[in-house]
Amino acid sequence: MADGDPPTGQVTDGDAPADAAATATDATAESASAGAVIVPVEPSSTLRSTVAHVAEAAAADGASAIHFVEIASWRNGDPESDERAAAAERVLERVTSWATADLDDSEAEAASEVEVVSAVLGADDYLFGADDYVRVLAEYAEANGADRVVLDPEYTPVGNTTLLQPLEFALSNTPLSVETAPVDRPTRRERFRTEATTGRFVALFGLSLAFYLLLGDPTYWFDLVTGVATAAVVSITLSRVSLDSNPAIPRTPMRIVRGVIYVPVLLFEIVKANLVVARVILDPRLPIDPTLNRMRVIVGSGLPLMTLANSITLTPGTLTVRARDSDLYVHSLVPWAREGLFDGSLERWTRFVYYGRRSARLPTPRERDDVAILQGDEATEELPIAAADGGAVEATEASGEAESTTGASDADGVTDR
């Protein structure tokens, strides 16, 4: 069709307003289709089909670009973060090559104009839950002119639990339009129970038997027989729900060995802290300075973080009150306990258990300047107060609101008791 010819179905020369309206409509449609599309990716059974759908739709709609992004479940600088980042880059490279090939095979005229981009998001912070994922997606979309998100129906950013539904719900509160790729699932959705494997069964059997014999008498034949029977029952019934991954060799045995080495170290720290706290309590001349402290740790998430938090709690004088992202909020009773916390002995031992001696040599929280005192005369940060909407209100703001509320009450004639 020549440039001067009217569109099919439109009236000809005599109806200029109709031509103007058609031109405006075409411009609006072209503007609406010019935005980029974001596709969060993780290895899944439907990833290839999702990429093919996105490439076809982008070519047909005239999208400016397809952004394949992987949301990091690690933080840069954590142990094993380099390996996980490299694995993410490999996934993105594979997805990018798929999309490029699909666009090259497309018959749509706009296919050659679609740019394919890949990126890793959120590697500087730990991200937990749909709200954190949506935040980084929205920031990336705003920075790159994207107006919609296409989700793989089997997208599982945390590796175990599918967050598609809450992710869709959280994205509905943003200006981004959300679509789930209409692709067929070649397999049934994963159940709560994982597949039974020999490695998980043997690992749980060994742990159960060892715990049973620790409580009983390993030299008595009856305890051996009942221990084997009990461990077998536990393994048969719980091996599918107790472990979310297969034990790896030599990583898992080495972690167990290093964990055995760590037990007497932790017991020594507990005894030493008991003596210090007991002395402070019995001697009124020694200071008791309870404070809440924040410490950003580098141990990874999941089991390592739980191990460190519980080790701190088991040590008298310190109590872990909250673990948020990579930050531990710890209450300390005496200055000695706080200083020992900042020196990072337990953090180093936790890294040793899970990652070996090389990771144990990383700088301490004090050396990294990843510590803060939240209360008292020596406070270096203001104490965050939980707000009703799940956010945080600074202590000064909360105090100001309290004062204004008190003033309003006094003005109404209400007195404090």
pLDDT tens-digit map of 64-89: 899 999 988 777 777 777 888 888 89
Alpha-carbon gap, residue 346 to 267, rounded angstroms? 12
β-bridge pairing 115-121 and 146-151: unpaired
- pLDDT, residue 244, reads 57
Residues 379 and 370 sit within 8 Å (Cβ to Cβ): no
Alpha-carbon gap, residue 117 to 192, rounded angstroms? 34
pTM, rounded to two decimals: 0.52
SS3 50: helix
SS3 147: strand
DSSP 8-state class, residue 16? H
The first and second tokens of residue 218, run together, are 């390993």
Alpha-carbon gap, residue 51 to 194, rounded angstroms? 27
pLDDT tens-digit series, residues 234-244? 988 887 777 65
pLDDT tens-digit series, residues 115-158? 999 999 888 876 666 777 888 888 899 898 888 899 888 887 65
Domain segments of the chain: what residues?
A: 34-180, 198-242, 251-375
270 contact partners, CB below 8 Å, separation of at least 6:
314, 315, 316
- pLDDT, residue 9, reads 36
**Residue carrying structure tokens 């005894």:** 271
Alpha-carbon gap, residue 279 to 284, rounded angstroms? 9
Q: Which CATH architecture has domain 34-180?
A: 3-Layer(aba) Sandwich (3.40)
- pLDDT, residue 165, reads 53
The first and second tokens of residue 314, run together, are 């088991």
Alpha-carbon gap, residue 17 to 33, rounded angstroms? 24
361 contact partners, CB below 8 Å, separation of at least 6:
none
Q: Phi and psi of 392, rounded to 5°?
A: -135, 140
Per residue of the chain (417 residues), what is the pLDDT tens digit? 444 443 433 333 444 444 444 444 444 344 344 578 999 998 888 888 899 899 888 888 888 899 999 988 777 777 777 888 888 898 899 899 888 888 887 778 878 888 999 999 888 876 666 777 888 888 899 898 888 899 888 887 654 444 455 677 777 778 888 888 888 765 444 444 556 678 888 888 988 998 899 888 888 999 999 999 999 999 888 877 776 567 777 778 888 899 999 999 999 999 999 999 999 989 888 888 899 999 988 887 677 888 999 999 999 999 999 887 678 999 999 999 999 999 999 999 998 998 888 778 888 889 888 899 988 788 888 876 543 334 444 444 444 444 444 444 443 443 343
Alpha-carbon gap, residue 246 to 250, rounded angstroms? 12
β-bridge pairing 392-394 and 384-386: antiparallel
- pLDDT, residue 228, reads 93
- pLDDT, residue 356, reads 84
Q: Peptide bond preceding 250: is omega within 30 degrees of 0, i.e. cis? A: yes
